[in-house]
Structure 1
Amino acid sequence: MSVVLYIGSGAVVAIATLILALRRHSAGKYLSVYSQPGPFYPIKFAAFYALLRLRKLRGDSGGDGGDAGGGHGGGSGYGRKSHASEADMERVQPLSAHPQAIDAAYFNGYSRDGWYFGAGIQRRHHLKAECIMVIRPPETILDGDVLEWPWGPATDVDAVDDSSWNAGGLAYQTVTPMKEWRVTFNGELRQRRGRQVRQVSFDLTWRAETPCFDFDTDMDAGPTCEAIAREPWSGDFFQRLREAHQTHYEQFGRLTGEIKVQDVGQWQLNLDSMRDRSYGLYRKWNDFHRYILQYFVLEDSTCIAFHLVCLPVLMTHLITGFVITPDKKKLAATASSRSLWQIGETEPPPKTYQVDLTVQGNQRYELEVTSVDAPSYYCGWNWEARLYCVLAKIRCKLPDGRIVNGRGMCEFEYRHSGGRTDGRVPVPSNC
């Protein structure tokens, strides 16, 4: 059942039906990838905007988690929460029946003294997981060499079980939903440049410092409607739109605790941090053409999350994100000064780039991003995606004209078609 029929508004269905009949009228694609607004773009925008408003009015009270796979599929998103309670959102989600089902959690961190930290677990079927690990100390420690998995640039590992966040020696534990998590690791990591393998352990506590931004309910409707109005509409398109939805939410906080590195030393970390959660019916890495995820914390405590996504099977020009102001006001992204193809369309990511983010209230944040380092790794059983973890410094002009510095981490994803090169046999595609 399409999103249009699922929402169930006679007038809107009539408008959508008319546009479906005119779907062959297309403005073409820039670089053979990015859809451009066609002659019926304004009508399509208005129709989908009405759909989102109706859905939000009918479903704003929150989901009941009744969909197969703990709220996966069409029950959540586009104005409707995946679960009514925070505890249900934060728990390990039962994977859907889809062979590429996904349940993911990620933590990053960065500090003024030069630490960068990233750790992610994507739970998959058959006790498999995709795990990210990037730790870069200040230049005075290991000359700033990145610590990563010994089996990198691969990310696929065995999980301990189906009911916890535990794979590759990395483990998460929810202490209090939306407020506190524990992040631990004990195992071997390898220096990227020096290639030396060292025993590493850490025991960190993540505590929330901002409200959660739930992309199911908190996004501004404008950018989503713009992205969908650009695309050719059909019954199959709306079916894919419903099935491919993933619940995703992000929250800034502080990551603190101790890290030990064999034969080097131990340190107390106190990092600005962002964590996210994603779960849905499935995630196929080869569905993506590109994306950029950007997370920054400024020295005045402003938190910025700003994303540009190209998913050719659905939306090729999606702008999402938000700003949390120092007084904890939550403002959703409404516009970007640059399109995705204007920022590092071919890899590797640019060393520096500029882009402006506009949020609700027509407030503009002018970002100047500089890469400190950019280790990369591959996701997908056959390495369908290459991800660069850009460790960054930022200079930001705020809406009031002040210029404030900060730090953060960005993820530049590129479609990879070269297959695996590490000699390991890929997991079957139906896993």
Structure 2
Amino acid sequence: MFWDLILPLFIPAALVLFFRILNKPYKPAIFGVYQQRNKFFWIKYIFMYLILSFRQLVNHIRRILAVETGKSSDGVQHVHKQDEVLENKYYLGDHAQAIDAVYLNGCNKDGDAVICGIARRPKHVVDAFLFLKVKGEDLLLSPELPDTYQEQVTIEEGYYRVKGLEIANFIPMRTWKLTYNGDMKVRNDTEKTVKVELELTWSAVFSHFNYDTQMSPKSMARDLAKEKWSRGYFKLLKKFHQTHYEQMGVLEGTVTIDGKDHTINIPCVRDHSFGPFRDWKTFHRYVYHFIFLENGDCMAIGSVCQPAVLSHLTIGYLCRQSDQSVLPVEFCDFQLYQHGEHQILPKDYGFCFEAGGKTYAVRVQVDDEETFYIGKSREAKFYERWCSVEINGVKGSACVEWHYNNVQANSKRKNE
């Protein structure tokens, strides 16, 4: 009896609601770039959340089965086979935009800092750079900076090595080596060079974080659901995909500058990214915070804008010293369009993020910065910014990387 009364009312109401949603206009993208929540957002969110959660569960089960069936080590005393494979050099093949890149970034409250990256590209081209700061000394730059485009000689091919700079794996997911022997420029007097010998060892403190398998399904689904879906969209998403993982540790060793020895001991993140396609022209911008707190916690939090596939992607994780856990960032209110969209970068700002069921309030104060470019035609511009931070009352240091698409700026310079 009840349904006989309700059903005639329910069906028309449902039809009205359906067509109202169907005809609802799309909200325009902010600045013509950043997509907003639109109709069907929650349907798309739930659908994608279920898929991503299922994928994550399948990967977890596969890792356990690999150990139980003897196809991998136990993951405690040894490195899981799946993780060991990640540390191998990537075969670039015939892909014109293929990449295989390694990167180190660390700093401390005393002013010591090291940033180094070497990205292998086809035809024995690399994008490579080194920034070095030791207490009481000026910032030192590798000779090619602010450019990074270089070509390897025969003996360097196939390695993360160029012109005296090298990053090499020693023990997978445990130890890497960073060495350099050559001249470096003094930031405040680029005509002056100093002789630098550097031999540093990076050692893992936390387990690695693989963006392919460990990102929060909630966060990823939320960002994907904002985009306009089509068959072409998902083809492009697959094309742009690359494997990227990071690991927090310690970088220590000796740096000799013009015969004077300095000891380096700093918290430091290491990353490795590779895949058949990376074109910096497809990125609009990103901001990525590498944060090292005095209580031993480390974290990476940022936002990426690659308009063709993800106009806003929240990335990051928290490494918690108290229990050695590595937790994905589930939410962050840092919005790119609110911070430095037109390359007027803030010097003092804040944001909040959630990880492990807890909210963290971050305050960032910029102390120093330097710029450089990636690509033969300078298609990507980067700001490396060394900062003081405070999170929930705990102080620390950070290096924050701000990237901007530089293609339009280059075009303007050429036309002038």
Shorter-chain TM-score: what band? Answer: 0.7 to 0.9
2:385 maps to 390
- The answer on whether the counterparts of 1:116 and 1:135 sit within 8 Å (CA) in structure 2 is yes
| Structure 2 counterparts to residues 265-304 of structure 1, below 5 A | 265-304=260-299
TM-superposition CA deviations, 1:169-208 (whole Å, max 9, x none): 2111211111111110111211121111222110000100
1:126 aligns with 2:123: yes
> Cα RMSD (Å) of the superposition?
2.1
C-alpha change, 1:39 and 1:422, in structure 2 (3 Å) is closer
Secondary structure of the residue aligned to 2:313 is strand
In structure 2, the partner of 1:47 is 47
The one-letter code matched in structure 2 to 1:253 is G
Q: How far apart in 2 are the matches of 1:410 and 1:24?
A: 40
Distance in 2, Cα, partners of 1:193 & 1:184: 24
SS of 1:28's equivalent in the other structure is: coil
Distance 2:319 2:199 in 1: 27
In structure 2, C-alpha distance between the alignment counterparts of 1:24 and 1:389, rounded to whole Å: 43
Aligned to 1:404: 394
CA distance in 1: counterparts of 2:147 and 2:85, whole angstroms: 31
- 1:24·1:232 contact (CA, 8 Å) conserved in 2? no
2:141 corresponds to: 148
Q: Would you say the 8 A contact 2:59–2:213 is kept in 1?
A: no
Q: 1:238 to 1:24 in 2, by over 3 A?
A: farther
Q: Greater helix share, 1 or 2?
A: 2
1:23 shift after superposition: 12
Distance in 2 of aligned mates of 1:348 and 1:360:
33
Partners of 1:237 and 1:85 lie apart in 2 by: 29
**Correspondence 1:187 to 2:182:** yes
Residues 274-298 of structure 1: CA distance to partner in whole angstroms, max 9, x if unpaired?
Answer: 1111111211111111101111110
Q: Which moved more, 1:298-307 or 1:150-159?
A: 150-159
Measure the CA separation in 2 of the matches of 1:24 and 1:150: 56
Corresponding residue SS for 2:254: strand
TM-score, normalised by the number of residues in structure 1: 0.82
- Under a length normalisation based on structure 2, what TM-score does the superposition of the two structures give? 0.85
Size of the alignment, in residue pairs?
371
Q: Does 1:369 align with 2:364?
A: yes
- The 3-state SS of whatever aligns with 1:374 is strand
1:232 Cα offset (Å): 0.7
Structure 1 residues 24 and 191: CA distance shift in structure 2, 3 A: farther
> Structure 1's 23 and 248: CA in aligned 2 closer, same or farther, altered over 3 A?
farther
Give, in angstroms, the shift of residue 112 of structure 1.
Answer: 2.8
Gaps in structure 2 of 5+ consecutive residues: 1-21, 64-79
1:422 shift after superposition: 11
For 1:223-242, what aligned pairs fall within 5 Å after superposition?
Answer: 223-242=219-238
Question: Which residue is 1:166 aligned to?
Answer: 161
In structure 1, the partner of 2:30 is 30
Q: Matches of 2:346 and 2:238 in 1, distance apart?
A: 34
Change in 2 beyond 3 A, CA 1:42/1:203:
same
Q: Secondary structure at the match of 2:123?
A: coil
Distance 2:413 2:103 in 1: 25
- Give the secondary structure class of the aligned counterpart of 1:29: coil
Q: Could you say what secondary structure the match of 1:375 adopts?
A: strand
In structure 2, the residue corresponding to 1:217 is in which secondary structure?
helix
Which has more radius of gyration? 2
What displacement does 1:262 show? 1.8
CA distance in 1, matches of 2:328, 2:99: 25
3-state SS, counterpart of residue 346 of structure 2:
coil
Q: Aligned partner of 2:299: which letter?
A: I
Which shows bigger deviation, 189-198 or 83-92? 83-92
| 2:103 partner amino acid | Y
Give me the whole-angstrom Cα distance separating, in 2, the residues matched to 1:221 and 1:23: 29
Contact map agreement 2:299 2:317 (CA 8 A) in 1? yes
Amino acid at match of 1:220: S
Contact 1:48/1:225, CA 8 A, preserved across alignment: yes
Identify unmatched segments of 5+ residues in structure 1: 1-21, 63-82, 398-402, 424-431
- Tell me how far apart the structure 2 counterparts of residues 219 and 407 of structure 1 sit (CA, whole Å): 24
**Once the two structures are superposed, what CA deviation does each residue of 1:128-157 show, in whole Å capped at 9, x if it has no partner?**
00012111233x22xxx3211222211111
**Distance across 1 between alignment mates of 2:253 and 2:368:** 24
Separation in structure 1 between the aligned mates of residue 120 and residue 386 of structure 2, nearest angstrom: 25
What code does the residue aligned with 1:208 have?
A
